[in-house]
């Protein structure tokens, strides 16, 4: 069974102006896939469609279950989604409250909730923020809290929308290590192409009209002409300037 299967999917925020059209893709269990493309090409929209936050035309299946209203409770247990905007994700007073919210809702007992929260805090290196009030956190601290919140849910599939945004180099490195350690199926939308290169074996490149390329991460991320056509650039580590400085 595919972890994610999308067939001829479409979505328009405004009638007659589709953002996603006839999009099909499938992701196997355990795959780590980077989702790249210029600002406004539809990466976040696709993630919202996959998680059922917005509707869609066509078919979307998560672990074989169709994404539709009656299945959303089950799908949200299987699929964790780190939003692009941390403030839209954190809605409880403290980090602990946010992290415990979903596990509690799934009927996990008090001790198990504590354990799931503590494990996720430790993995992300933010145990010191456990009882911090959300509105008192910095941008990067909020980012790490959002990631920890999703890890505490122990989902089978993780969607991460710009996970490394606002992170300092140390926390970005922790994130990359976590991503590489995770056995879960991952779809990671990002403009941090160096992180994508380090964490994904496959890349899906979107442009205004849908999927422009889908294949081996290194192959796509080394294709300067293709990336530039899509308003992107080579990852920093592959740019001539960086390579020259390293010599
Ligand atoms: N709520 C909304 N109502 C109307 N249009 C929207 C809405 N949200 C997004 N859009 C439009 O849909 C298109 C796709 O937006 P989306 O957020 O999916 O892009 P993205 O690829 O995630 O971009 P970025 O790299 O900037 O995060 C954009 O043209 C955007 O202006
Ligand atoms: Mg986006």
Dist CA 66 CA 60 (whole Å): 6
Ligand 1 nearest atom to the CA of residue 47, by list position: 18
Q: For 159, list phi and psi in degrees, rounded to 5.
A: -105, 125
Dist CA 226 CA 91 (whole Å): 40
DSSP 5: E
Under a CB-based contact definition with an 8 Å cutoff, are residues 45 and 11 in contact? Answer: yes
Ligand 1 nearest atom to the CA of residue 41, by list position: 21
pLDDT confidence of residue 208? 84
Q: Taking the model in full, what pTM does it have?
A: 0.95
Q: What angle do CA 206, 80, 49 make, to 5 degrees?
A: 45
Q: Given ligand 1 and candidates 42, 50, 85, which is best to mutate, with the most ligand atoms within 8 Å of its CB? A: 42
Ligand nearest to the CA of 46: 1
Length of the chain: 247
pLDDT confidence of residue 241? 77
User: Which residues, in sequence order, are bridge partners of residue 80?
Assistant: 158
Ligand 1 nearest atom to the CA of residue 37, by list position: 21
- Residue closest via CA to ligand 1's atom 18 equals 42
Q: How much distance in Å is there from the Cα of 35 to the middle of ligand 1?
A: 14
Element (H, E) at 111: helix 110-124
Q: How much distance in Å is there from the Cα of 192 to the middle of ligand 1?
A: 18
pLDDT confidence of residue 171? 93
Domains of the chain, by residue range, sit at 4-86+155-246
Dist CA 186 CA 33 (whole Å): 6
Tokens 């970005």 found at: 172
pLDDT confidence of residue 147? 96
Q: Given ligand 1 and candidates 9, 12, 13, which is best to mutate, with the most ligand atoms within 8 Å of its CB? A: 13
Mind listing the pLDDT tens digit of every residue in the chain (247 residues)? Answer: 899 999 999 999 999 999 999 999 999 999 999 999 999 999 999 999 999 999 999 999 999 999 999 999 999 999 999 999 999 999 999 999 999 999 998 889 999 999 999 999 999 999 999 999 999 999 999 999 999 999 999 999 999 999 999 999 999 999 999 999 999 999 999 999 999 999 999 999 999 879 999 999 999 999 999 999 999 999 999 988 777 777 6
User: Which residues, in sequence order, are bridge partners of residue 59?
Assistant: 7
Ligand nearest to the CA of 37: 1
Q: What angle do CA 126, 140, 160 make, to 5 degrees?
A: 90
- Could you tell me if the CB of 42 is within 6 A of ligand 1? yes
Dist CA 134 CA 15 (whole Å): 37
Ligand nearest to the CA of 161: 2
DSSP 18: E
- Could you tell me if the CB of 84 is within 6 A of ligand 1? yes
CATH 3.40.50.300 for the 4-86+155-246 domain, yes or no: yes
């Amino acid at each position: 069974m595919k972890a994610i299967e999308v067939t001829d999917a479409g979505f328009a925020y405004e009638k007659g102006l589709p953002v996603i059209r006839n999009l099909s893709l499938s992701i196997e269990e355990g795959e780590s896939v980077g989702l790249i493309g210029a600002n406004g090409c539809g990466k976040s929209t696709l993630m919202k469609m996959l998680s059922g936050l917005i509707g869609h035309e066509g078919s979307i299946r998560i672990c074989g279950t169709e994404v539709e209203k009656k299945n959303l409770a089950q799908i949200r247990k299987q699929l964790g989604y780190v939003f692009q905007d941390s403030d839209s994700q954190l809605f409880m007073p403290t980090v602990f409250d946010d992290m415990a919210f979903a596990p509690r809702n799934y009927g996990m007992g008090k001790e198990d909730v504590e354990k799931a929260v503590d494990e996720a805090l430790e993995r992300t290196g933010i145990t010191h923020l456990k009882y911090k009030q959300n509105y008192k956190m910095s941008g990067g601290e909020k980012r790490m809290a959002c990631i920890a919140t999703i890890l505490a849910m122990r989902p089978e599939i993780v969607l991460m929308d710009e996970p490394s945004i606002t992170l300092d180099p140390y926390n970005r490195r922790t994130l990359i290590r976590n991503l590489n350690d995770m056995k879960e199926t991952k779809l990671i939308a990002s403009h941090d192409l160096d992180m994508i290169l380090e964490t994904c074996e496959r890349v899906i490149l979107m442009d205004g009209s849908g999927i422009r390329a889908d294949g081996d991460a290194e192959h796509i991320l080394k294709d300067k002409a293709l990336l530039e056509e899509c308003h992107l650039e080579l990852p920093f580590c592959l740019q001539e300037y960086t390579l020259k400085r390293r010599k």
